[in-house]
C-alpha cells in the first residue's frame, strides 16, 4: 500500500492521454447506466474523443429503457429502428429472432463511424447480438460492468426447482450465446474493483482482457464531496425526501434477489426495531427491479400502521439516487450492493447482512474490518445500533474504509479517467489497418 492518504490525486507520468479522432459510442442497456457512465463520457470527450450514444431501447425490457436519460445527458444519439424484436418475451423466444435482429443492427452500424463501442452490460440476447455484429465489423467492444463484480456466496442455496433444471438451462443458454457477465466475447473489460478482475479471471477470462481502472464516477463524486459543505447537503436531501430533522437516518439498500414475500418482512421488522431503539429513521431504497411490487406496498402499509408513525419509516423509489441516499444517512445496511462502496466513499458505517440466502457476499468486514457483519437477526439489530450510536465502532469501521478504498478503488486517486483513456487508446490502436479501412469506406456516406 502506498504511504499516502487515500483520495489524494497523484500526477500522471507522461501527461494527459489524448483521444483525438476516436469515435466512441456508448450503449446503455439499463435505466441506471447513463448516470453511471456519464462521468466517463465527459472525461473522454474532454480528451478529444467524439462521444455519442446508441439507444437500443427497442431491444430492452420496459424497466430497462433509458431514452429519457439519454436525452437529458445532452449527448448526440442514434436510435435503433424497430427490428420487430419481442423484447419482453423469454430469452428462448428472443434467440429465435437473432438472425433478423443481426441484420437490423448490421444495417445501422454500417452507416456509422465507430472505433469502439462501450457497454454498461453484456447480458441478454439483444445486447449480445450487438456485440457479435460489432466484432464482425472489426469494431472494438469495451464492457464497463454496471456495479461491483463479486465472488459467489458459498452458502447460497438456490430453490430445488432451479437446481434441478440448472444443467439443462446452462446448456440451452450457452447454445444461444448467453452466459455469465463478461463471457460475451468483448475485447476489453474495465473493472471498477480489484476483486472484480479476480472473479473474471476465475471464470476463465484471460487476465490481459481485464483491467482495474477504478471509477471515474466515484473519483468525480469524491472531489465534489471534499469541496462541499456535506452536512448542509445531507440536510437538503433529507428535507426533499420528507425525513425528520434531528434524527439519524439508517439506509437499507435493497437487492432484488431478497425474497420479497418470505425474507423481506422479517428483515425490515428487525431493522425497524433497531432504529426505534437508537431513535433513528429507516430509509429503504428498493432495487429498481422490485420497487413496484404490490406486496411491498402492502407490507409497508401494515408496518406503518403498527408503528403508528410514518416518520420512523421512509420508502424511496425514484425520488433520489443511491449516492444522495448515502449522503443523507448516518449508517448503511445491505446484503451486497454497489451502495456499500458508496458508503465507504462517504465514510458512513456499513452493516453487511450475511445470513440471507443471496448469491454473492461482500467480504469487506472480514477482509478489511470496514464493515459490521451480521450473521443472524440479533447481530443485525445490534450492528445497526452500534453503527448509529457507538462512536468507537463508528470510528474504527470508518478508519478501516481507507484500506478498502486503497485496494478496491485504486485509492480514489483521481486517475480513473486516465487509466480508462489509456486502456481504450491501446485497444483502438490494435485495430488492423484493413479493418479501419473497411469501416471508413462503409461510413463514407454519413459523417
Model pLDDT for residues 248-278, shown as the tens digit of each residue: 999 998 887 777 677 888 888 899 999 999 9
User: What pLDDT was estimated at residue 245?
Assistant: 77
Instruction: Label residue 356 by pLDDT band (50, 70, 90).
Output: confident
pLDDT for 404-438, tens place per residue?
A: 999 888 888 889 999 999 999 999 987 544 344 44
Q: pLDDT band at residue 229, thresholds of 50, 70 and 90?
A: low
CA distance 435 to 429: 12
Q: At 343, is the pLDDT very low, low, confident or very high (cuts 50, 70, 90)? A: very high
C-alpha angle 61/264/36, rounded to 5°? Answer: 45
pLDDT band at 3 (very low <50, low <70, confident <90, very high): very low
Over residues 88-117, the pLDDT tens digits come to 888 888 888 889 999 999 999 998 999 999
How confident is the prediction for the chain on average, in pLDDT?
Answer: 82
pLDDT tens track for 172-218: 666 667 788 888 999 999 999 888 999 999 989 999 999 999 998 88
Judge whether residue 336 has pLDDT over 90.
no
Q: Which three cell numbers stand for residue 324?
A: 444522495
Whole-model pTM: value is: 0.81
Give the largest Cα separation in the chain, rounded: 71
When mean pLDDT is compared across 14-18, 219-223, 350-354, the lowest value belongs to 14-18
Q: What secondary structure, in 3-state letters, does 221-241 show?
A: HHHHHHHCCHHHHHHHHHHHH
**What sign does the CA torsion over 232, 313, 372, 262 have?**
negative
Give φ, ψ of 30 to 5 degrees.
Answer: -155, 150
pLDDT band for 363, please (50, 70, 90 cuts).
confident
Average pLDDT over residues 328-352: 92
Q: Can you tell me the mean pLDDT for 391-413?
A: 92
Enter the C-alpha cell of residue 381.
Answer: 439489530
CA–CA separation, 238 and 223 (whole Å): 22
3-class DSSP state of 244: coil
Spatial distance between the Cα atoms of 124 and 95, rounded to a whole number of angstroms? 9
| In contact, 106 and 133? CB cutoff 8 Å | yes
> What is the spatial distance between Cα 140 and Cα 25, in angstroms, rounded to a whole number?
10
Q: Looking at residue 391, what is its pLDDT?
A: 95
Name the grid cell of 308: 403508528
- The residue that leads in pLDDT, 290 or 151, is 151
| Span 19-50, pLDDT tens digits | 999 999 999 998 888 888 999 999 999 999 99
How far apart are alpha carbons 434 and 444 in whole angstroms? 16
Give the pLDDT score at 154: 81
Q: Is the pLDDT of residue 378 over 80?
A: yes
Which has the higher per-residue pLDDT, 156 or 160?
Answer: 156
Q: What pLDDT is attached to residue 262?
A: 77
Share of the chain above pLDDT 90, in %: 45
| Residue 1's pLDDT band (cuts 50, 70, 90) | very low
* Contact residues for 1 (Cβ-Cβ < 8 A; gap 6+): 403, 406, 407
pLDDT of residue 328: 87
Cell readout for 408 is 478496491
> What per-residue confidence (pLDDT) applies to 157?
76
Please tell me the least confidently modeled range out of 65-74, 179-188, 216-225, 305-314.
Answer: 305-314
For the cut 60, the answer to whether the pLDDT of residue 4 exceeds it is no
- d(Cα 176, Cα 40) in Å, to the nearest integer? 32
Amino acid at each position: 500500500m502506498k504511504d499516502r492518504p487515500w483520495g489524494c490525486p497523484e500526477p500522471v507520468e507522461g501527461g494527459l492521454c489524448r483521444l483525438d479522432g476516436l469515435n466512441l459510442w456508448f450503449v446503455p442497456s439499463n435505466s441506471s447506466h447513463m448516470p453511471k457512465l456519464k462521468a466517463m463520457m465527459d472525461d473522454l470527450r474532454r480528451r478529444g474523443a467524439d462521444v455519442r450514444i446508441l439507444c437500443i431501447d427497442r431491444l430492452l425490457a420496459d424497466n430497462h429503457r433509458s431514452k429519457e436519460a439519454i436525452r437529458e445527458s445532452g449527448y448526440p444519439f442514434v436510435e435503433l429502428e424497430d427490428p420487430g424484436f419481442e423484447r419482453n418475451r423469454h430469452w428462448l423466444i428472443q434467440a429465435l429472432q437473432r438472425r433478423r435482429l443481426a441484420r437490423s443492427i448490421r444495417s445501422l452500424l454500417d452507416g456509422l463511424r465507430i472505433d469502439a463501442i462501450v457497454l454498461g452490460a453484456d447480458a441478454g440476447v439483444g445486447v449480445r447480438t450487438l456485440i457479435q455484429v460489432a466484432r464482425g465489423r472489426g469494431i472494438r467492444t469495451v464492457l464497463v460492468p454496471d456495479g461491483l463484480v463479486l465472488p459467489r456466496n458459498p452458502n447460497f442455496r438456490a430453490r430445488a426447482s432451479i437446481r434441478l433444471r440448472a444443467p439443462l438451462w446452462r446448456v440451452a443458454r450457452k447454445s444461444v450465446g448467453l452466459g455469465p457477465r463478461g463471457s460475451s466475447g468483448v475485447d476489453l473489460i474495465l473493472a471498477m474493483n480489484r476483486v472484480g478482475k479476480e472473479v473474471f479471471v476465475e471464470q476463465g477470462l484471460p487476465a490481459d482482457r481485464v483491467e482495474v481502472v477504478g471509477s471515474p464516477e466515484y473519483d468525480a463524486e469524491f472531489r465534489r464531496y471534499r469541496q462541499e459543505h456535506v452536512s448542509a447537503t445531507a440536510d437538503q436531501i433529507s428535507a426533499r425526501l420528507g425525513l425528520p430533522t434531528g434524527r439519524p437516518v439508517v439506509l437499507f439498500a435493497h437487492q432484488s434477489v431478497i425474497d420479497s414475500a418470505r425474507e423481506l418482512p422479517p428483515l425490515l421488522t428487525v431493522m425497524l426495531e433497531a432504529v426505534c431503539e437508537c431513535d433513528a429513521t429507516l430509509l429503504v431504497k428498493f432495487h429498481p427491479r422490485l420497487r413496484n411490487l404490490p406486496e411491498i406496498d402492502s407490507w409497508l402499509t401494515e408496518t406503518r400502521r403498527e408503528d403508528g408513525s410514518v416518520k420512523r419509516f421512509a420508502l424511496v423509489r425514484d425520488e433520489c439516487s443511491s449516492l444522495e441516499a448515502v449522503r443523507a444517512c448516518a449508517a448503511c445496511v445491505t446484503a451486497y450492493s454497489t451502495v456499500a462502496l458508496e458508503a465507504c466513499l462517504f465514510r458512513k458505517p456499513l452493516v453487511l447482512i450475511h445470513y440471507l440466502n443471496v448469491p454473492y457476499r461482500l467480504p469487506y468486514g472480514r477482509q478489511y474490518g470496514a464493515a459490521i457483519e451480521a450473521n443472524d437477526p440479533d447481530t443485525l439489530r445490534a450492528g445497526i445500533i452500534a453503527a448509529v450510536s457507538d462512536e468507537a465502532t463508528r470510528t474504527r469501521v470508518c478508519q478501516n474504509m481507507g484500506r478498502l478504498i486503497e485496494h478496491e478503488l485504486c485509492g480514489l486517486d483521481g486517475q480513473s479517467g486516465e487509466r480508462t483513456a489509456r486502456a481504450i487508446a491501446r485497444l483502438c490502436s490494435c485495430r488492423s489497418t484493413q479493418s479501419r479501412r473497411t469501416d471508413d469506406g462503409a461510413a463514407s456516406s454519413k459523417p
